[in-house]
Amino acid sequence: MIDIRLIRKDPALVQQRLQTKVADADISKVLSLDESIRSKKTEVEQLKAKRNDASNTIGRLKREGKECGTEMNEVSAMADRIHQLDHEIALLEPELIDELARLPNLPYDDIPVSPDPKDNVMVRSFGARPTFAFSAKNHVELNERLGLFDFERATKISGSGWPSYKGLGARLEWALLNYMVDFHVKNGFTQWFPPIAVKKEVLFASGQLPKFANQQYKVTDGEQELYMIPTAEVALNGLLMDEIIPEESLPLKFIAYTPCFRREAGAAGSQERGLIRTHQFNKVEMFAFTTPEQSPEIFEELVHSAEKLVEGLGLHYRSMLLTTGDMSFASAKTIDVEVWLPGQDRYYEVSSISNCTDYQSRRSNTRLRRGNDKPLLVHTLNGSGLATSRLMVALLENNQQPDGSVIIPEALRPYLGGLERLTPQATPRYI
């Protein structure tokens, strides 16, 4: 969440910056609730001071044997008013938190201001789009003879938008995941394997609730209510909720492989078929806790890691600095790494790296201890490292050959027993 003190200090500036991300962002209700709560708290403090004075007066009058009925009635009335105000404050404070939680993070000042993703700025690229001397196929068409996925049977068991990998498709997916995990561990990240179902407050802490409640899968078992994670970012951020980290322990750099679940699977049609956008996908997530001073450097490290993984697979990509209107809800700065998918004739994101500053840590109450100073909020950063579904599409479509076979990148061959090529089946198997 945004610091309420910043909103109080310069509401016009905060409103203006928020509206570069969300055009109809409005802080008027936040200001009204905050003013009401502060006014009531001030009145409570004043009443308590008066009550203390009146109690002292009553004590003195009693010691002197004098009548104090009027003073006692006044104290009783003040106690009733304090109780009433405390009740009103208790009702208003959650409402204020809810309103604050619906505001996105403020973008950094140097982010391009635009609501249009077409205004995103390319900061780097690698390689070039492939050219084919034959009629190239998309991954769904390639799969007809390669037999890597079974979308029909996945639909049978779960409905549309759920993938199912089989045979070499499952092995290739596993090879991608191992390739990425090994890369990150070698580069100093601590690997986690967290739960994939989390509490509501953990989802709130990452910024997924209340804004994106309709995109979450929820599991209810009696009184227990858990949410399937849309990304391991949620679980990794939750690991240190309500903790104070010694400054010398920062930065903390984590990775985790998990399946991820999102209700929105995109539009139907050729542009979104197959693995392009699904309800379940696999991802290796990078996550970091840092001091405020460290976060810009760690942001660049996460971007570099994502780029190096794509380069290691020999895929053409471009890295795009997102405009204010295209950034994620919790982010102050985001760079997307996008690969070219020939079958879709466009770029698709395989990694989105974000610096969330103290937006998430204010929700999760994750702080750092700097000497004897009062604890301060850490910065959190996250990035896909990488998401595999579109990466799988990129590997198949960019490396396809005239006979329908697909060359396997050298980086993945050690994880596949040295296999160099996926070969079409002469006669499709029953299963």
pLDDT tens-digit readout, 43-75? 999 999 999 999 999 999 999 999 999 999 999
Query: Strands, E, within 159-243: which ranges?
Result: 190-192, 197-198, 217-221, 224-228
Give 90-147 pLDDT, tens digit per residue. 999 999 999 999 999 999 999 999 999 999 999 999 999 999 999 999 999 999 999 9
Q: Compute the CA torsion angle 102, 105, 109, 114 (nearest 10 deg).
A: -60
For the chain, give the mean pLDDT. 95
What does the block give as tokens for 15? 């409103």
Q: Are 330 and 210 in contact (CB under 8 A)?
A: no
Query: What is the three-class DSSP state of 91?
Result: helix
70-74, 236-240, 406-410, range with the lowest pLDDT: 70-74
Structure letter (DSSP) for residue 324: G
pTM: 0.93
Residue appearing with tokens 């409570």:
44
Q: What percent of the chain has pLDDT over 70?
A: 98
What does the block give as tokens for 74? 């006044």
- Reply yes or no on whether the pLDDT at 314 is more than 70: yes
Residues paired with 226 in a beta bridge? 219
Q: Residue 223: pLDDT band by 50, 70, 90 thresholds?
A: confident
Across the range 158-179, mean pLDDT stands at 96
Sort residue 337 into left (φ over 0), alpha (ψ -120 to 50) or beta. Answer: beta
Domains annotated on the chain, with CATH:
28-101 (1.10.287.40), 117-422 (3.30.930.10)
Comparing CA positions, the residue from 337, 338, 336, 339 lying closest to residue 394 is: 339
Q: How many residues does the chain have?
A: 431
Q: Which residues contact 125 (CB under 8 A, 6 or more apart)?
A: 316, 317, 318, 319
Q: Which residues contact 136 (CB under 8 A, 6 or more apart)?
A: 342, 343, 397, 400
Outline where 225-274 has alpha helix (H).
Answer: 232-238
